Structure 1
Amino acid sequence: MMDQGPGRYVALGDSFTEGVGDFSKRRPNGVRGWADRVAEALASDSPGWEYANLAIRSKRLRHIIAEQLEPAIKMEPTLITLYAGGNDVMDFGTKIADILAEYEFMVERLAETGATLVLFTGYDVEVSPILGPLRRKNHAYNDGVRLIAAKYGAILVDYANFSAYATSRMWGPDRLHMSKVGHKYLAARVLDVLEVPHGITHKNKRSAELSVRQRAKEHRVWVTEWVLPLFGRKLRGTTLGDTLSPRWPEPVRVPPRKGLKKLTR
C-alpha cells in the first residue's frame, strides 16, 4: 500500500488518463479527468503532493515507452498510475502477445522505481457490433494485465468489472471515453484502493429510456461524427494527439485548497 505523507504522483498513458470526456475549458488540453481529481484529493488529505500527467490521447504503447517512460522515471515518483494498450488493442492486425510484451517491459521498469504502481484493466464497451471482433482481444489483454500486475506487485484497478459503467451516462458522446460522471466515479475507486479519504460521491441514476427512433438517430450521429472520422484517421495514419503536449509535463505542487484549478487562473 502507498506510504503515508506527501509524495510525487506521475500519471502515464493515453486519453483515458489525459481526461478526455471530462471537458474543462481552463485546464490544459481542455480536459480535467480522474487523474487530476486523484491528485487533488491526495493534496487535500496530505498537503505537499506534487503531480505530473504525461498522458496524451491516441498514444500507443510504443509512443508511451518512447515519450513518457524515461521522463516519468527521472521524476522519482512515489505513486505511478499507468493505463496503456487500449489503442493498440483497437488497431487492426496487432497481436496480444506483442502488446503484452511491450506493456510488461514498461511495468517492469516502473516497478523498479519502488513507487506504488497502479494498473488498470480496460472496460469492455458494448458500443456496436461494428467493434465486436475487438472484444476478444480486449478480454485477452485484460487477462494479461491481471497476471502482470500480480507478478510485479502492482495495485490493480479492475475497471473491466465495474458494473456502474453499464449505464450510458458514464460515457461521452463517442461511447469510448468516460463522461465527467465516469471520470469522477473512477477517481473515487482509485482513491478507495489507495485508502485515501475523499468526498467524491456517485449517484446511481438510471439513464432515460430512448424510443426506437431516438436510438436510431443517435446511432447515425455516432457513426457519422465519431466512427467514420476514427477510421479515416487510421487510414491516414494520424491521431487526435499528434499536435498535443502533456497536460502537466513537469511536477506541480497541488494546492490543498481549490486544487489544480488555482494553477490555471
Structure 2
Amino acid sequence: MEQPVFTEATDPFCLDRADAMTLLAGAPWGRYAVIGDSLSAGTGDPTPGYQDQGWPDRVADVLRSVRPDLDYLNVSETGATTAQTLEKQAARMVEFSPDLLHLPCAANDIARRRPDFGEMERTLRRMYDVAQGTGALLTTFTLGRAYVVPVFPDWPQRIAAVNEIVRGLASEYGAVVVDMWDHPVNDRGNLLSEDRIHFSTSGQAVMAAEMVRKLAGSLGRTTSP
C-alpha cells in the first residue's frame, strides 16, 4: 500500500503556528536550554514541503512567539555521549540558569560494541542530578524504533533498554517525556535522513509538535492527539 505524501500543512501530527501558540500562550518559561548530541541539535536532511529547521529551534520559535523576551541556548554537539555532555556542556548550561531544559537520551552511549547499561544509567543519573539543580522543568525523548544501526543485530533491544532507563529517570525526576519509540511517524518511508539515523525535517516537525503538546500538557492544557 502506497503511503500518503504529506507536507507540513497537511501532516496530521504537525501543528500550525497559531495552534502551537494557543497551546503555549502565557507559558512561564523565559530561559530555554538544550544539551546533548545530534538529536538535541535537531540534525536532519531537508524534506520537501517542510520547513528546513530542527525540532529545538522550532520549539524555541514558538516559545519566543508567546514570550518575546525568551533567551535560548543550545550547546549540543554531534556525537556527544552522556559523559561528554556532562564534561563539556553542563557548566555552560548551569551558568545559563534555564527554567526549561532538554536532556539527551543516550543515543550515542549505545553505539558501542558492548554497551554497559548499568554505567549508562549511573551517568544519566548524574546528568539529571545536575539538571535538577537548576530548578528547570526537564524534558527528554525516547529513541524511535526507526533509528537503526544494522551493524548491531541487537540494536532494537539496545534502544528498548535505554528507553526504559530514560523513562524511569524521567519519572523519578519529574521530567516531561516525548515518547517517540512507537510513534506512527516511525513507519514513514521518508522519515530518515540519508544517513539512515537522523530524522529528516518531516520528523523534526513532528517531534517539535509533540514537544509543544507535552509542554502544554504540563501546564494542564488539553491537547489533541
Per residue, is there more helix in 1 or in 2? 1
Give the TM-score normalised by structure 1: 0.67
Give the TM-score normalised by structure 2: 0.78
Separation in 2 of the partners of 1:4 and 1:41?
10
Paired AA for residue 17 in structure 1? S
Residue 15 of structure 1, CA deviation: 0.6
Separation in 2 of the partners of 1:116 and 1:79?
5
| Structure 2 counterpart of 1:21 | 44
- What are the Cα deviations for residues 111-164 of structure 1, in whole angstroms up to 9, with x where unaligned? 121111001111123647533312212111111111100111111111112121
SS of alignment partner, residue 110 of structure 2: helix
Paired AA for residue 14 in structure 1? D
Determine which of 166, 170, 174 is the counterpart of 2:191.
170
Taking structure 1 as reference, are residues 8 and 135 closer, same or farther at Cα in structure 2, changes over 3 Å only?
A: same
After the TM superposition, list the runs of 4 or more consecutive aligned residues in structure 1 that deviate by more than 4 angstroms: 126-129
Q: Answer whether contact 2:105 2:142 (CA < 8 A) is retained.
A: no
Separation in 2 of the partners of 1:126 and 1:80?
24
Q: Structure 2 unaligned segments of length 5 or more: list them.
A: 1-23, 47-51, 218-225
Paired AA for residue 139 in structure 2? V
The structure with the larger Rg is 1
Separation in 1 of the partners of 2:115 and 2:213?
34
Aligned residue-pair number: 189
Deviates more, 1:175-184 or 1:81-90: 81-90
Residue 101 of structure 1, CA deviation: 0.8
Taking structure 1 as reference, are residues 75 and 90 closer, same or farther at Cα in structure 2, changes over 3 Å only?
A: same
SS of alignment partner, residue 206 of structure 2: helix
- For the aligned residue pairs, the C-alpha RMSD in angstroms reads 2.1
Paired AA for residue 124 in structure 2? Y
Residue 161 (1) aligns with residue 182 (2): yes
Paired AA for residue 80 in structure 2? K
Q: Structure 1 unaligned segments of length 5 or more: list them.
A: 24-30, 197-265
Residue 61 (1) aligns with residue 82 (2): yes
Residue 190 of structure 1, CA deviation: 0.3
Taking structure 1 as reference, are residues 162 and 138 closer, same or farther at Cα in structure 2, changes over 3 Å only?
A: same
Paired AA for residue 121 in structure 1? T
SS of alignment partner, residue 130 of structure 1: coil
| Structure 2 counterpart of 1:123 | 144
Structure 2 counterparts to residues 125-140 of structure 1, below 5 A: 125=146, 127=148, 129-140=150-161
Determine which of 11, 28, 31 is the counterpart of 2:34.
11
| Structure 1 counterpart of 2:173 | 152
